Amino acid sequence: MRAVLLSTLSLLPSAVSFAPQRISTNGGFTTIQDRKTNAAASFHKRREEDHHFMASNSICTFEEDDFALPTGEWPYEEKDLNRLDNTDDSNFYDAPRFVTHIDDRAIESLTAFYRDEMSSKKNVDVLDLCSSWISHLPNDGVSLGRVVGVGMNEAELKANQQLTEYYTQDLNKQPDLSQFDDESFDVVCNVVSVDYLTQPLEIFKEVHRVLRPGGVSLVSFSNRCFPTKAVAMWLQADDIGRLTIVGSYYHYSAKWKSIEALDIKLPRMKTPERPGFGQIMSNPSAAFAWASTASAVAKANSGDPMFIVKGVK
């Protein structure tokens, strides 16, 4: 399986073709602010065009024979799920953090993937595990029903405008989701937090229980974490190892219809065509607009990776 993952990751497209956004040489710009506004508009237009592309590439699917033990068994020991900081998590998460833990491009990728995943359904009921002040769900193009957050910090959950209700709960102390009936949700999300779970088997069992038949679990992660709170085997693994860890959580927890690893990072944005010497001479601000846009594109293209392991019940 590792060889398959390596070969698939190496073949994922690193770029797609976009029509270059040429900078007009007619009229010119009169102020620095005009130049910045034009450059920003060009960059955001490229992002909007970008979102018309499907927001994922399949890396692999996991089959039963990819794992050493059958479903229902558990191969991991206490040392695998140990952490550098085993103190009460409520202390660590006591103060609200109104920050994002992945960069803007990764967030856009996640939201675009959610849109692709949920757009064909009506009144999608969502459970957001390890939720915070933002759930990254799309604000358009999807029909959301109930959106429930389960997280550690009440101030963050209260600030999340996408939630219809929330529960403050430490899943490492109380991994059951007994407040929810069987088959209550269409989608369960866990965003960049699976690495902190010390009782993943119990939690993934509960995720399977609360999903409706055909429902999906979407566990996303990047390459960032709070290292003192991530479990030991996560810190020791590379991206392929982490995909396999999450895939194994699904496999050992329940019988899933399918388990798939996905690279959901949006395609690389193409750097706009550099204006020619004649364009720059007739309109010097064209060079400024090009440099600003090219710099923003380069930053977006060099950001955080973004993966999802998707389980279908």
Please, what is the end-to-end C-alpha distance for the chain in angstroms?
22
The tokens for 4 are: 């398959």
pLDDT in the model for residue 210: 98
Of all helices (H) and strands (E), which one includes residue 250?
Answer: helix 239-253
Q: Quick check: 111 and 136 in contact, CB under 8 A?
A: yes
Q: What is the mean pLDDT of the chain?
A: 81
Of all helices (H) and strands (E), which one includes residue 114?
Answer: helix 104-118
The whole-number mean pLDDT for each consecutive block of 10 residues of the chain, a chain of 313 residues, reads: 48 32 30 36 43 69 96 97 91 75 88 94 96 95 97 96 97 97 98 96 98 98 90 96 97 98 82 68 68 58 84 98
Report the 10 Å Cβ neighbour count for 192: 23
Residue for token pair 């937090």: 193
pLDDT in the model for residue 196: 95
Q: Quick check: 270 and 288 in contact, CB under 8 A?
A: no
Distance CA 228, CA 226 (A): 6
pLDDT in the model for residue 89: 84
* DSSP symbols for 66-105: GSSS-BTB----GGGG--S--S-HHHHTSS---S-SS-HH
pLDDT in the model for residue 286: 66
Report the 10 Å Cβ neighbour count for 114: 27
**Tens-place pLDDT, residues 135-163:** 999 999 999 999 999 999 999 999 999 99
